A and B are shown apart, each in its own frame.
Chain A
Amino acid sequence: MSYLLTLSPAYAEIFLLVMASAILIADLFVVSKERTLTYVLVQLTLLGCALITTVTHEPNVMQLFNGMFVGDAMSDVLKLLSYLAVSMALAYSRHYLLVRGLFTGEFMVLTLFALLGMMVMISAAHFMTLYIGLELLSLSLYAMVALQRDSVAATEAAMKYFVLGALASGLLLYGMSMLYGATGALGIAAISDAIRHGVENKELLVFGLVFVVAGLAFKLGVVPFHMWVPDVYHGAPTAVTILISSAPKLAVFAFVMRILVDGLQPLMMHWSGMLAILAVLSMAIGNIVAIAQTNIKRMLAYSTIAHMGFLLLGVLSGGTDGYGAAMFYAVTYVLMSLGGFGMIMLLSREGFEADMLDDFKGLNQRSPWLAFMMLILMFSMAGVPPTAGFYAKLSVLQAVIDAGHIPLAVMAVLFSLIGAFYYLRIVKLMYFDSPDSNAPISVRFDNGLLISVNGLAILALGIMPGALITVCAMAVQQSLLLR
Chain B
Amino acid sequence: MIFEFPLLSLAVWLPILFGVLVLATGNDRNASLARIIALVGAVLGFLVTIPLYVDFDKAQTAMQFVELQDWIPYYNIHYHLGVDGISVLFVLLNSFFTPLVVIAGWKVIEKRVAQYMAAFLIMSGLVNGVFVSLDAVLFYVFWEAMLIPMFIIIGVWGGSNRVYAAIKFFLYTFLGSVLMLIALLYLHIQSGGSFSILDFHKMPIPMTAQVLVFIAFFMAFSVKVPMFPVHTWLPDAHVEAPTGGSVVLAAILLKVGAYGFIRFSMPIVPDASHYLAGVMIALSLIAVVYIGLVALTQTDMKKLVAYSSISHMGFVTLGFFIFNAYGMEGALIQMLSHGFVSGALFLCIGVLYDRMHTRNIADYGGVASKMPVFAAFFVLFAMANVGLPGTSGFVGEFMVIMGTIKTNFWYAFMAASILIFGAAYTLWMVKRVIFGAVTNQNVERLTDITLREKLVLTILALSVMGMGLYPLPFTEIMHTSVNDLLTHVSHSKL
**Assembled-state Cα–Cα distance A386/B144 (Å):** 8
CB 8 Å contact bits of A416-455 with B (1 = contact, 0 = none): 1100110011011001100000000000000000000000
Query: Which residues of B have CB within 8 Å of A398?
Result: 75, 185, 188-189
Known interface pairs A397-B182, A401-B186; A431-B141 also in contact (CB < 8 Å): no
One of A5-13, A16-24, A466-474 at the interface: A466-474
Residues of A within 8 A of B (CB): 364, 368, 375, 379, 384-386, 390-391, 394-395, 397-398, 401-402, 406, 409-410, 413-414, 416-417, 420-421, 424-425, 427-428, 431-432, 465-466, 469-470, 473
A216 to chain B, nearest CB (A): 27
The CA of A364 and the CA of B157, in the complex, are separated in Å by: 13
Residues of B within 8 A of A394 (CB): 137, 181, 185
| Chain A residues whose C-beta falls within 8 Å of the C-beta of B185 in the assembled complex | 394, 397-398, 401, 409
Other contacts beyond A385-B145, A473-B74: 13, CB < 8 A:
A364-B115, A384-B148, A390-B141, A391-B72, A398-B189, A401-B182, A409-B185, A413-B179, A414-B178, A417-B175, A424-B170, A431-B152, A466-B77
* Most chain A CB neighbours (cut-off 10 Å) among B162, B182, B189: B182
| Subset of 9 A-B contacts with CB under 8 Å | A390-B141, A397-B185, A417-B174, A420-B174, A421-B167, A424-B151, A428-B166, A432-B166, A466-B72
Closest to A473 in B: B74
> Is the C-beta of B73 less than 8 angstroms from some C-beta in chain A?
yes
Q: Mark B72-84, 1 if CB is under 8 A from A, else 0.
A: 1111010000000
Least Cβ distance of A481 to chain B in Å?
A: 17
Q: Which 3 A-B pairs have the closest CB atoms?
A: A413-B178, A385-B141, A466-B72
Bound-complex Cα distance A375 to B148 (A): 10
The yes or no answer to B71 lying at the interface (CB within 8 A) is yes
Shortest CB-to-CB span from B132 to chain A, Å, is: 16
Contact B72 A465 (CB under 8 A): yes
B178 engages A384 (CB within 8 Å) = no
Give B residues with C-beta under 8 Å from A.
26-27, 70-75, 77, 112, 115, 137, 140-141, 144-145, 147-148, 151-152, 155-156, 162-163, 166-167, 170-171, 174-175, 178-179, 181-182, 185-186, 188-189
Q: Which residues of chain B have C-beta atoms less than 8 A from A368's C-beta?
A: 26-27, 115
The CA-CA distance from A153 to B420 in the complex, in Å, is 68
- The answer to whether A428 and B140 have CB atoms under 8 Å apart is no
Instruction: Report which of B70, B73, B174, B186 forms a contact with A406, defined as CB distance below 8 A.
Output: B186
Residue among A386, A427, A431 making CB contact with B145, cutoff 8 Å: A386
Q: A401 to B188, alpha carbons, bound, how many Å?
A: 10
- A424-B182 contact, Cβ under 8 Å, with A390-B144, A402-B189: no
One of B27, B74, B112, B178 near A470 (C-beta < 8 A): B74
Interface pair A385/B181, CB less than 8 Å apart:
no
Chain A residues whose C-beta falls within 8 Å of the C-beta of B115 in the assembled complex:
364, 368
Residues in chain A near residue B26, CB distance under 8 A: 368
Other-chain residue from A386, A401, A432, A470 in contact with B73 (beta carbon distance below 8 A) = A470
Q: Which of B71, B140, B163 contacts A385 (CB 8 A)?
A: B140
